[in-house]
Amino acid sequence: MSGNMVGEGNPLMGEHLPFEERHSPSLEAYLDYYLRSVEDPERFWDEKARELVWLRYWDRVLDEDNPPFYRWFRGGVTNINLNALDRWAGTSVANRVAYYWEGEPGDTRTISYGELYREVNRFAWALRELVGVREGDTVTIYLPMIPELPVSMLAVTRLGAIHSVVFSGFSAAALADRIVDAGAKVLVTADGFYRRGRVVELKKAADEAVRIAADRGVEVEKVVVVRRAGVEVNWVEGRDHWYHELLAEAPGKAYVKPVPRKADDVLFILYTSGTTGRPKGIMHSVGGYMTYVYHVFRWNWDPRPEDVFWCAADIGWITGHTYIVYGPLMHGVAQVMYEGAPDHPDPGRIWSMVEKYGVTTFYTSPTLLRLLLRYGDRWVEKHDLSSLRLLGTVGEPINPEVWKWYYTRIGRSRAPIVDTWWQTETGAAMISPAPGIALVPLKPGSATLPLPGIVADVVTHEGRQAETGEKGLLVIKRPWPGMLMGIWGDPQRYVRTYWERFSDPEKGVWIYYPADYAVRDRDGYFWLLGRADEVMNVAGHRLGTIEVEDAVVAHPAVSEAAVVGAPHPVKGEVPVAAVVLREGYKPGPELEEDIRNTVRRLIGPIAVPAKVLFVRKLPKTRSGKIMRRILIALLRGQPIGDTSTLEDPAAVEEVRKAVEEYKRAVEGLEL
Ligand code: PRX
């Protein structure tokens, strides 16, 4: 495999990047701001929160009475709509573009802040009056990247209800799991959408999910359907409602007063993968999330009235919640929003849109950059990218080679790269440059330093502070407003997953554990080195190995399976499954495809194993635990380490042979 794989940058070698004079990076100016933020964090956040619109200020900035259930701005009352929409009504921002939306086929819509405000009000009115959504209800939103997605989210939060957005690439079964867990009675979806020139029939999957949920005791009473693709859909009278018909019933000037919400109410749930088969519903708070996202957006992107911001993510993930919906809207920034595949109809799509809309700030994942880099510079050179002034990346470690390509070819060595490390759980970026405060010198491959108010460190497995250059585990040592409130319906899992690893409750020490490897270099810069738990990072998306294993084992031919993340030159990691078949089944390409289809059906395309390796035995300990780390080591070409607990060494040889097969298969893909 080439030297371009993720995580290959050597932190101790990382040199500061010489910037043109006009960026004048200043570590001192940044540290000055940072140090003040952590000296008295409560005062800091108190001041920061006051920059937003509240209906009532808080009694306490941070309630630490019941750690790790921290509650921010207790006593405060607000509604995020007040800051994302209502504050712009009657100002010049109302006439500013909120979204330049482009469909994959090339159709467009331009929506101003004023229009967004009116549409949100009308949909909120319809949801309340016709659909019956009430404060505290959970509404599941299963929509593609169309303007009705942010409209629905804002309408739901306007009513004081909680949204649970499910990525439109998830399957019916995955959607059903999330509907059931959240107990949602209302689902907002679309007839279909465009992806690589084809229509994906979303309503079909939604219908199927509603049926599965009903079998499991959760009855979805109302389904709202946006007409996007114009395809035939199955219709259940009384249950299903067209979005456009609901809107038509709402008074033209409908106004729905934003429902006052407590700062520590739940704003939304977003499911993410963990180390068990069951995805967890991460809960974000009304006041804390709002405050943190508002400021981090400003620190990251230094927004200006003339900006055109484009976060090329999907709103179905946290990046889209924070950087396509709430963050930019709270700053009145104009955005680009795109429905389809980044390389459709050709690999110049993204760059042609940057040129067409005059994008100033572009934020994406290393996976997308690796894909576009592979298509070659001729697609870049065709377009005038001189409007770009800031570039961002998120979701996975960025290899220095890709960083440098992004910096020189896309940003013409003039746009700093804002590498943002964060998670679904953290609400917004935690470790990243902050050109909105003061740009620090950059190093290709490092997310640089913690943002204001964030106290991060690297510790060894035993919890001792790691030395400079010593690989360890990232920890966050103080609560921050954007932190998750917990896991929907499972407080114990919240404590176990994030807090038990390094906390010492007896001593009152609570430490947040993100499960990421990291190292700090001699300048104190953080280098994020990938997940430290059984979670894969596929194309910047989190995927639990056990979740995929459960799906593989659901195939009738499979007796046992081990799924791990294998290095992949574009996607960073891809799931690879080593499978032992039941008696009577023969390995072969058809069965492989059939197993892959089972995963597609149970989770969705992103989880489909790049390769199914048929083996007669899996490496196990004598007590029967599958040793995934052996498979991982073989796939990465690393030493397999201690095998003294291995039950049968022959299993390693089995897997080794199968792994060679995978490696041959991806060789053609090298960068
Ligand atoms: O491993 C880290 C990786 O993505 C994980 C979080 O995934 P998710 O909750 O899906 O959120 C992705 C978008 C925020 C982290 O635990 N990760 C995220 N950003 C970076 C990163 N790894 C390295 N560098 C980053 N900038």
Contacts of 133 (CB under 8 A, 6+ apart): 127, 139, 156, 159, 161, 186
Instruction: Quickly count: other Cβ atoms within 10 Å of residue 242's Cβ.
Output: 15
CA angle 50, 54, 57 (to 5 degrees): 70
pLDDT over 90 (residue 574): yes
Same domain for 660 and 612: yes
Q: State the amino acid at position 87 in one-letter form.
A: R
Report the C-alpha gap between 179 and 184 in whole angstroms.
5
DSSP type of residue 19: P
Phi first, then psi: give them for residue 273, nearest 5 degrees: -85, 150
CA 530 to ligand 1: nearest atom: 1
Same domain for 476 and 433: no
Instruction: List the residue whose alpha carbon is closest to atom 8 of ligand 1.
Output: 423
318 touches ligand 1 (CB under 6 Å): yes
Choose from 13-17, 349-353, 533-537 the range with maximum mean pLDDT.
349-353
Same domain for 205 and 119: yes
DSSP type of residue 112: E
Ligand 1 center from residue 422 Cα (angstroms): 5
pLDDT over 60 (residue 283): yes
484 touches ligand 1 (CB under 6 Å): no
Instruction: List the residue whose alpha carbon is closest to atom 6 of ligand 1.
Output: 423
Report whether 608 contacts 169 (CB < 8 A).
Answer: no
Report whether 499 contacts 70 (CB < 8 A).
Answer: no
In angstroms and rounded to an integer, the radius of gyration of the C-alpha atoms of the chain is: 24
pLDDT over 90 (residue 669): no
Q: Ligand 1, from 170, 421, 534: best to mutate by most atoms within 8 Å of Cβ?
A: 421
Same domain for 73 and 45: yes
Instruction: Look at residue 275 in the predicted model and tell me its pLDDT.
Output: 87
Instruction: Look at residue 670 in the predicted model and tell me its pLDDT.
Output: 45
Instruction: List the residue whose alpha carbon is closest to atom 11 of ligand 1.
Output: 423
Report if residue 8 sits inside a domain.
no
Reference 84, options 308, 336, 270, 267; nearest CA is 267
Mean pLDDT of the chain: 94
Reference 206, options 197, 226, 281; nearest CA is 226
Same domain for 231 and 129: yes
Report the number of distinct structural domains present in the chain.
3
426 touches ligand 1 (CB under 6 Å): no
Same domain for 330 and 212: yes
Same domain for 111 and 75: yes
Report the C-alpha gap between 286 and 79 in whole angstroms.
7
424 touches ligand 1 (CB under 6 Å): yes
Share of the chain above pLDDT 90, in %: 89
Q: Alpha helices of 499-647 — where are they, by DSSP H?
A: 545-553, 589-602, 628-636
Share of the chain above pLDDT 70, in %: 96
Q: Mean pLDDT over residues 637-641, rounded?
A: 89
Report if residue 383 sits inside a domain.
no
Report whether 135 contacts 181 (CB < 8 A).
Answer: no
Ligand 1 center from residue 541 Cα (angstroms): 8
Contacts of 313 (CB under 8 A, 6+ apart): 319, 320, 323, 324, 363, 364, 365, 394
Report if residue 3 sits inside a domain.
no
476 touches ligand 1 (CB under 6 Å): no
Report if residue 362 sits inside a domain.
no
Same domain for 85 and 49: yes
pLDDT tier for residue 5 given thresholds of 50, 70 and 90: very low
Reference 420, options 408, 437, 433, 407; nearest CA is 433
Same domain for 488 and 567: no
290 touches ligand 1 (CB under 6 Å): no
Same domain for 31 and 118: yes
pLDDT over 70 (residue 601): yes
Instruction: Look at residue 644 in the predicted model and tell me its pLDDT.
Output: 87
Ligand 1 center from residue 540 Cα (angstroms): 7
Report whether 158 contacts 256 (CB < 8 A).
Answer: yes
Q: Ligand 1, from 501, 528, 529, 545: best to mutate by most atoms within 8 Å of Cβ?
A: 528
Instruction: Look at residue 666 in the predicted model and tell me its pLDDT.
Output: 77
Ligand 1 center from residue 319 Cα (angstroms): 10
Same domain for 524 and 580: no
Q: State the amino acid at position 135 in one-letter form.
A: E
DSSP type of residue 145: S
Q: Mean pLDDT over residues 236-260, rounded?
A: 97
Provide the residue range defining the domain that includes 468.
458-494+511-529
Report if residue 553 sits inside a domain.
yes
Report whether 519 contacts 472 (CB < 8 A).
Answer: yes
537 touches ligand 1 (CB under 6 Å): yes
Report if residue 307 sits inside a domain.
yes
Higher per-residue pLDDT: 595 or 15: 595
Lowest mean pLDDT among 22-31, 36-45, 308-317, 393-402: 22-31
For 497-514, give the DSSP string.
Answer: HHTTTT-BGGGTB--B--
Report the C-alpha gap between 640 and 632 in whole angstroms.
8
Instruction: Look at residue 4 in the predicted model and tell me its pLDDT.
Output: 33
For 196-210, give the DSSP string.
Answer: TTEEE-HHHHHHHHH
Q: Which tens digits make up the pLDDT trace of 480-512?
A: 999 999 999 999 999 999 999 999 999 999 999
Instruction: Look at residue 8 in the predicted model and tell me its pLDDT.
Output: 44
Reference 426, options 572, 628, 288, 573; nearest CA is 288
Report if residue 296 sits inside a domain.
yes
Lowest mean pLDDT among 15-29, 50-64, 109-123, 400-414: 15-29
Report whether 284 contacts 487 (CB < 8 A).
Answer: no
Q: Mean pLDDT over residues 646-662, rounded?
A: 89
CA 429 to ligand 1: nearest atom: 14
420 touches ligand 1 (CB under 6 Å): yes
Instruction: List the residue whose alpha carbon is closest to atom 24 of ligand 1.
Output: 397
pLDDT over 90 (residue 11): no
Ligand 1 center from residue 396 Cα (angstroms): 5
Q: Mean pLDDT over residues 271-281, rounded?
A: 91
pLDDT tier for residue 16 given thresholds of 50, 70 and 90: low
Same domain for 617 and 484: no
447 touches ligand 1 (CB under 6 Å): yes
DSSP type of residue 399: P
Expressed in angstroms, the distance from the first to the final Cα of the chain is: 9
pLDDT tier for residue 19 given thresholds of 50, 70 and 90: low
Phi first, then psi: give them for residue 364, nearest 5 degrees: -155, -170
Instruction: List the residue whose alpha carbon is closest to atom 4 of ligand 1.
Output: 395
Kindly state the tokens that stand for 618: 């899996």
Report whether 1 contacts 670 (CB < 8 A).
Answer: yes
CA angle 46, 52, 54 (to 5 degrees): 90
Lowest mean pLDDT among 379-383, 472-476, 617-621: 617-621
Report whether 446 contacts 416 (CB < 8 A).
Answer: no
Torsion of CA 136, 137, 141, 146, to 10 degrees: -60
Phi first, then psi: give them for residue 214, nearest 5 degrees: -60, -40
Ligand 1 center from residue 666 Cα (angstroms): 24
pLDDT over 50 (residue 7): no
DSSP type of residue 325: I
CATH number at residue 299: 3.40.50.12780
pLDDT tier for residue 645 given thresholds of 50, 70 and 90: confident
CATH number at residue 550: 3.30.300.30
Instruction: List the residue whose alpha carbon is closest to atom 22 of ligand 1.
Output: 396
Instruction: Look at residue 234 in the predicted model and tell me its pLDDT.
Output: 98
445 touches ligand 1 (CB under 6 Å): no
